[in-house]
Structure formats: C-alpha cells, structure tokens
Amino acid sequence: MNVEVKVTMALRVEEDGQHKNKFFDLPLQISKANTMTANWTLVHQITEESPLYNFTKKDIETAGVEILVFVQGFDESFSNTVISRTSYTADEFVYGAKFTPMFHPNENNTSTILHIDLLDSYVDAPLPNPM
C-alpha cells in the first residue's frame, strides 16, 4: 500500500569539452497508488516539456540514456517499508511495442486473474513518430 514511483533519466553530455552525466526527473501520468491490486504500467508522456522531446533512437543511444526507477511502498503483511530499484539502459529499450494485457476478470466477474508470466510480454505497435 501507499506505493510511490520516481523515474529519472541519466545521460552523457559534452560541456566545455568534457563528458558529464546529467539527470532529469521524468514525471509520470500516475506516480502514486494507494494499493497494488494489479499490474501498473508507468507512463511518461513525451511532450515539449519532456527531456526526451525530439530525441531520436540514435540520440538516445549516443547519449547513453539510462532510465532509473525507484519504487517504495508499505507491505502491511510484514509491517515494513519495501524498496525496489532498477534501471534500463538504451540497449534494453524496445521501440514500436506495447504491453499485452496481463489480467482479466474470473468467470464470475468477482475477482481479477493476474498472469505474472506476462509481465514483460509485448506486441508490435506502430510508432506515432518515426525514430
């Protein structure tokens, strides 16, 4: 319960002839949830305010973009705060895809069936803007 996610983008830039790492917060459409009853797809919309605005696939690879994800929540079963961190490098990004649904209602429509084996499953999807 009380789950919060923060996503940060790290990239290499050249300033004054030196390579430096820069970090940018990536605002999410939904960054907090009172409870985790199903899966949660984190969405950062790329608008003019996004640090990824106008980036191409080549720009992302050249800058060595890495997405850092920090998740924190409270596990009421153990009365303990749970923290998880992970990151995704540019070579792990998947372009032109969308996640497949990983849950559906049971036969009686009284509960939700969650298929953990579909956690990373995706299908091809057209890109809105060619990268």
Whether 89 and 25 share a structural domain: yes
Whether 39 and 103 share a structural domain: no
> Residue 67: which H helix or E strand, with range?
strand 66-75
> What's the pTM?
0.80
Q: What is the pLDDT of residues 25-74, one digit of tens each?
A: 999 999 999 887 667 889 999 999 999 999 999 999 999 999 999 999 99
What does the alpha-carbon distance between residue 118 and residue 122 come to, in Å, rounded to a whole number? 8
Whether 30 and 59 share a structural domain: yes
| No. of helices (H) and no. of strands (E), the chain | 1, 9
Which amino acid, 130?
Answer: P
Higher pLDDT, 103 or 66: 66
pLDDT at 128: 67
pLDDT at 91: 94
Whether 112 and 49 share a structural domain: no
Domain carrying residue 44: 3-93
Domain count along the chain: 2
CATH code of the domain containing 64:
2.60.40.1400
Whether 15 and 65 share a structural domain: yes
Whether 126 and 62 share a structural domain: no
Whether 81 and 119 share a structural domain: no
